[in-house]
Amino acid sequence: MSSPKLNLMTPGEYLEIERKSEIRSEYIAGRMFAMSGASRRHSFITGNFHRELSTQMRGRACEAHTIDMRVKVSPTGMYTYPDIVALCGEARLEDEHFDTLLNPTVIVEVLSDSTEAYDRGEKFAHYRRLDTLREYVLVSQDKIRIERFRREGDEWTLSEVSDPEATLHLESIDCHVAVAAIYEKVEF
Protein backbone atom coordinates (compact mmCIF):
# COMPACT_ATOMS: atom_id res chain seq x y z
CA MET A 1 0.00 0.00 0.00
CA SER A 2 1.43 3.38 -0.92
CA SER A 3 1.01 6.47 1.21
CA PRO A 4 -0.85 9.46 -0.25
CA LYS A 5 1.30 12.04 -1.99
CA LEU A 6 1.40 15.41 -0.26
CA ASN A 7 0.84 18.45 -2.41
CA LEU A 8 3.49 20.88 -1.26
CA MET A 9 3.67 24.42 -2.56
CA THR A 10 6.67 26.46 -3.52
CA PRO A 11 7.55 29.72 -1.75
CA GLY A 12 6.44 31.57 -4.90
CA GLU A 13 3.04 29.88 -4.85
CA TYR A 14 2.68 30.71 -1.15
CA LEU A 15 3.52 34.39 -1.71
CA GLU A 16 1.09 34.65 -4.63
CA ILE A 17 -1.75 33.28 -2.50
CA GLU A 18 -0.73 35.16 0.65
CA ARG A 19 -0.55 38.56 -1.02
CA LYS A 20 -4.17 38.21 -2.21
CA SER A 21 -5.55 36.73 1.01
CA GLU A 22 -7.35 38.60 3.76
CA ILE A 23 -6.17 35.97 6.26
CA ARG A 24 -2.48 35.79 7.16
CA SER A 25 -0.76 32.41 6.92
CA GLU A 26 2.73 31.25 7.77
CA TYR A 27 4.72 28.99 5.44
CA ILE A 28 6.87 26.10 6.60
CA ALA A 29 8.26 23.24 4.53
CA GLY A 30 5.87 23.65 1.62
CA ARG A 31 2.71 24.14 3.68
CA MET A 32 0.59 27.13 4.65
CA PHE A 33 -0.75 27.47 8.17
CA ALA A 34 -3.53 30.00 8.85
CA MET A 35 -2.95 32.24 11.84
CA SER A 36 -5.66 32.65 14.45
CA GLY A 37 -6.97 35.93 15.82
CA ALA A 38 -5.53 37.61 18.89
CA SER A 39 -7.07 38.13 22.32
CA ARG A 40 -7.68 41.56 23.83
CA ARG A 41 -4.65 41.16 26.14
CA HIS A 42 -2.50 40.13 23.19
CA SER A 43 -3.64 43.20 21.27
CA PHE A 44 -2.90 45.56 24.17
CA ILE A 45 0.56 44.09 24.78
CA THR A 46 1.54 44.15 21.11
CA GLY A 47 0.25 47.69 20.63
CA ASN A 48 1.85 49.00 23.82
CA PHE A 49 5.23 47.42 23.11
CA HIS A 50 5.24 48.65 19.50
CA ARG A 51 4.28 52.17 20.61
CA GLU A 52 7.16 52.31 23.09
CA LEU A 53 9.70 51.09 20.52
CA SER A 54 8.43 53.40 17.78
CA THR A 55 8.56 56.41 20.10
CA GLN A 56 12.17 55.69 21.02
CA MET A 57 13.12 55.15 17.38
CA ARG A 58 11.89 58.54 16.19
CA GLY A 59 14.68 60.43 14.48
CA ARG A 60 16.88 57.32 14.31
CA ALA A 61 17.61 54.98 11.40
CA CYS A 62 15.49 52.29 13.05
CA GLU A 63 12.05 50.82 12.49
CA ALA A 64 9.55 48.61 14.29
CA HIS A 65 6.63 46.75 12.74
CA THR A 66 3.68 44.90 14.16
CA ILE A 67 2.19 41.65 12.99
CA ASP A 68 1.65 42.70 9.36
CA MET A 69 5.36 42.64 8.42
CA ARG A 70 6.25 39.19 7.14
CA VAL A 71 9.74 37.84 7.94
CA LYS A 72 11.55 35.25 5.85
CA VAL A 73 14.02 32.96 7.57
CA SER A 74 16.11 32.42 4.45
CA PRO A 75 18.22 29.50 5.76
CA THR A 76 15.11 27.39 6.41
CA GLY A 77 12.64 28.90 3.93
CA MET A 78 10.11 29.75 6.65
CA TYR A 79 7.82 32.77 6.24
CA THR A 80 6.25 34.05 9.44
CA TYR A 81 4.56 37.06 11.01
CA PRO A 82 6.15 37.96 14.36
CA ASP A 83 4.03 40.06 16.70
CA ILE A 84 6.75 42.74 16.56
CA VAL A 85 9.92 42.95 14.51
CA ALA A 86 12.52 45.70 14.80
CA LEU A 87 15.85 46.69 13.33
CA CYS A 88 18.26 49.57 13.08
CA GLY A 89 20.00 50.30 9.81
CA GLU A 90 18.79 49.55 6.32
CA ALA A 91 15.97 47.05 5.93
CA ARG A 92 16.62 44.26 3.43
CA LEU A 93 13.45 43.15 1.70
CA GLU A 94 12.89 40.07 -0.42
CA ASP A 95 11.47 41.67 -3.55
CA GLU A 96 9.74 44.69 -5.07
CA HIS A 97 6.58 44.09 -2.99
CA PHE A 98 8.43 45.43 0.10
CA ASP A 99 6.42 43.17 2.41
CA THR A 100 8.95 40.53 3.47
CA LEU A 101 11.80 41.51 5.78
CA LEU A 102 15.03 39.49 5.62
CA ASN A 103 17.15 41.10 8.37
CA PRO A 104 15.33 41.52 11.70
CA THR A 105 17.43 42.43 14.74
CA VAL A 106 14.72 41.93 17.39
CA ILE A 107 11.67 39.68 17.25
CA VAL A 108 8.93 39.79 19.88
CA GLU A 109 6.27 37.12 20.28
CA VAL A 110 3.35 37.47 22.71
CA LEU A 111 2.63 34.02 24.09
CA SER A 112 -0.78 32.36 24.12
CA ASP A 113 -1.86 28.90 25.23
CA SER A 114 -2.09 27.73 21.62
CA THR A 115 1.28 29.13 20.45
CA GLU A 116 3.59 29.08 23.47
CA ALA A 117 5.21 25.69 22.84
CA TYR A 118 5.71 26.52 19.14
CA ASP A 119 7.10 30.02 19.88
CA ARG A 120 9.59 28.57 22.38
CA GLY A 121 10.49 25.51 20.32
CA GLU A 122 10.30 25.07 16.57
CA LYS A 123 9.73 28.74 15.75
CA PHE A 124 12.71 29.86 17.84
CA ALA A 125 14.82 27.12 16.21
CA HIS A 126 14.03 28.73 12.85
CA TYR A 127 14.64 32.27 14.14
CA ARG A 128 18.05 31.32 15.56
CA ARG A 129 19.20 30.64 11.98
CA LEU A 130 18.83 34.36 11.15
CA ASP A 131 22.34 35.84 11.28
CA THR A 132 20.94 39.31 11.93
CA LEU A 133 18.75 38.34 14.90
CA ARG A 134 20.26 39.54 18.17
CA GLU A 135 17.33 39.40 20.59
CA TYR A 136 14.23 37.24 20.83
CA VAL A 137 11.60 38.35 23.35
CA LEU A 138 8.71 36.26 24.68
CA VAL A 139 5.97 38.16 26.51
CA SER A 140 3.43 36.36 28.68
CA GLN A 141 -0.12 37.62 28.47
CA ASP A 142 -1.48 35.92 31.59
CA LYS A 143 1.11 37.25 34.07
CA ILE A 144 3.89 39.81 34.12
CA ARG A 145 6.83 37.93 32.66
CA ILE A 146 9.11 38.86 29.80
CA GLU A 147 11.89 36.54 28.68
CA ARG A 148 14.69 37.96 26.57
CA PHE A 149 17.06 35.69 24.70
CA ARG A 150 20.19 37.53 23.59
CA ARG A 151 22.76 36.22 21.13
CA GLU A 152 26.35 36.31 22.38
CA GLY A 153 28.46 34.88 19.57
CA ASP A 154 26.97 31.46 18.84
CA GLU A 155 25.29 31.20 22.24
CA TRP A 156 21.93 32.50 23.44
CA THR A 157 21.53 33.74 27.02
CA LEU A 158 18.22 34.14 28.81
CA SER A 159 17.18 36.90 31.18
CA GLU A 160 13.74 37.37 32.68
CA VAL A 161 11.85 40.42 33.90
CA SER A 162 8.77 40.04 36.09
CA ASP A 163 8.83 43.21 38.20
CA PRO A 164 6.23 45.71 36.96
CA GLU A 165 8.58 48.55 38.00
CA ALA A 166 11.49 47.18 35.93
CA THR A 167 12.70 48.18 32.50
CA LEU A 168 13.50 45.86 29.61
CA HIS A 169 16.68 46.91 27.81
CA LEU A 170 16.95 45.81 24.19
CA GLU A 171 20.64 46.41 23.67
CA SER A 172 20.76 45.62 19.96
CA ILE A 173 18.42 48.50 19.10
CA ASP A 174 19.23 50.62 22.18
CA CYS A 175 15.68 50.83 23.53
CA HIS A 176 14.60 50.81 27.18
CA VAL A 177 10.96 49.78 27.63
CA ALA A 178 9.16 50.01 30.96
CA VAL A 179 7.44 46.76 31.86
CA ALA A 180 4.46 48.75 33.17
CA ALA A 181 4.11 50.39 29.73
CA ILE A 182 4.09 46.99 27.99
CA TYR A 183 1.29 45.77 30.27
CA GLU A 184 -0.71 49.03 30.32
CA LYS A 185 -4.49 48.28 30.41
CA VAL A 186 -3.87 44.53 30.72
CA GLU A 187 -5.96 42.99 33.49
CA PHE A 188 -5.03 39.62 34.98
Task: Give the pTM.
Answer: 0.90
Q: Where are the beta strands (DSSP E) in 29-174?
A: 31-34, 62-66, 70-73, 78-80, 84-88, 100-101, 106-110, 135-139, 146-152, 155-161, 167-170
Which CATH number fits the domain that encloses residue 48? Answer: 3.90.1570.10
Whether 146 and 139 have beta carbons less than 8 Å apart is answered as: yes
Tens of pLDDT, residues 81-120: 999 999 999 999 998 888 899 999 999 999 998 889 999 9
Domains held by the chain: number: 1
> What range defines the domain where residue 62 resides?
38-182
pLDDT in tens, 52-79: 999 999 999 999 999 889 999 999 999 9
Distances (CA, A) of 71 to 66, 103, 186: 11, 8, 27
* 36 pLDDT above the threshold of 80: no
Confirm whether 96 is domain-assigned: yes
